[in-house]
Structure 1
């Protein structure tokens, strides 16, 4: 099966779409697509998130659209029903790991401790999301676990920004970073979609 890193290809930023309405989600997705990005994540944090994911898939068929903030097996099924191309979780349980592993799409389980990493690895995952990256230890943590979990790579999210993303990406066990800084809330509320496009272009 295709892995998350294979989906990402040369793209090193996983841009996060947090939308309060379907229309907002579509506008953010279009702004990101206009920059040349091919992979985006819609976080399931509002009542409109699933419909936004479904609409983005329909209107932007060239985009690979993942579902983030998947907390349990019910949300996982809803995300798959909406057409999610990949699954991202903020944390893990044994049941959730097994369900994500059984999916037909790639999964990126969220970890924050060595115990989490060991559990995810035991369930067959070698690509993980470190969340919340800055609070979980950031770059020093990633350096520390690199010699222990030599076959595990990460996509850190949480506290990543334009100023520190290159420091994370310089680590050999980092395959990409997740971030919201390319779609800041004030830009979305003001409808300043060009700022999202420009911020995304800056990371390509």
Structure 2
């Protein structure tokens, strides 16, 4: 694996990477602009809806101040599709060799998912040192990541899954956590009603989290 795909800087951009599910492509640009207004300059749009690629395309074209990535990359074809839409990085919830090979072929930085020590070791063997820890809370949370820091001190994580304003600080205090991923910055109700002011307020609080 080429280290050009290693996202060593992604984890340092913001304390929180917003993980966003967009059901209406018209929400993409105002949502991204609301995050930027709150001091968040990175966003992960998950490939869970039919309009996700269109949303990525719009953000990439119209909101240059935010780094747009594609999340929930679960099939080899997703990588090329996301790259073509304008994604600047890729995030996978788990990792297989065929999936990562397709992602690496795009030349984009990749944040591969792992939930166990064995999965993390496999990714180390492939040259990765920055990983997504998913599903964070269900897989053992803060205690599990603290335990991994001993035998695997070279790894840094972005825990995602069950992260909230109530537990984010506990994760960010760990030496092997660079940032967290969370959906709380972009609540479904705010998106549905176009309440971008609330998104900006949540983003401002998230950007101020200490790590």
**TM range, normalised to the smaller chain?**
over 0.9
Distance in 1 between residues matched to 2:5 and 2:169, nearest whole Å: 26
Sort the Cα spacing of 1:2 and 1:102 in 2 relative to 1 into closer, same or farther, 3 A.
Answer: closer
Moved more, 152-161 or 182-191: 182-191
Q: Which one has more relative contact order, counting CA pairs under 8 Å at least 6 apart?
A: 2
Contact kept, 8 Å, 1:92 with 1:111, in 2: the verdict is yes
The answer as to 2:18 corresponding to 1:15 is yes
Distance in 2 between residues matched to 1:124 and 1:101, nearest whole Å: 12
Sort the Cα spacing of 1:57 and 1:80 in 2 relative to 1 into closer, same or farther, 3 A.
Answer: same
Equivalent in 98, 111, 115 of residue 95 of structure 1: 98
1:160 is matched with: 163
1:66 is matched with: 69
CA positional deviation for 1:99 = 2.8
CA positional deviation for 1:62 = 2.1
2:117 is matched with: 114
Paired residue secondary structure (1:148): coil
Aligned residues: 204
Residues 105-132 of structure 1: per-residue CA shift (max 9 Å, x gap): 2100011111211111111110000011
TM-score w.r.t. length of structure 2: 0.92
Structure 1 stretches lacking a partner, 5+ long: none
2:150 is matched with: 147
Moved more, 6-15 or 158-167: 6-15
TM-score w.r.t. length of structure 1: 0.95
Sort the Cα spacing of 1:5 and 1:201 in 2 relative to 1 into closer, same or farther, 3 A.
Answer: farther
Distance in 2 between residues matched to 1:141 and 1:161, nearest whole Å: 17
Contact kept, 8 Å, 1:18 with 1:25, in 2: the verdict is no
Distance in 1 between residues matched to 2:200 and 2:42, nearest whole Å: 14
Distance in 2 between residues matched to 1:5 and 1:193, nearest whole Å: 30
Structure 2 stretches lacking a partner, 5+ long: none
- 1:1-204 to structure 2, matched below 5 A, reads 1=4, 3-204=6-207
Runs of 4+ in 1 over 6 A off after TM superposition: none
Root-mean-square deviation (Å): 1.4
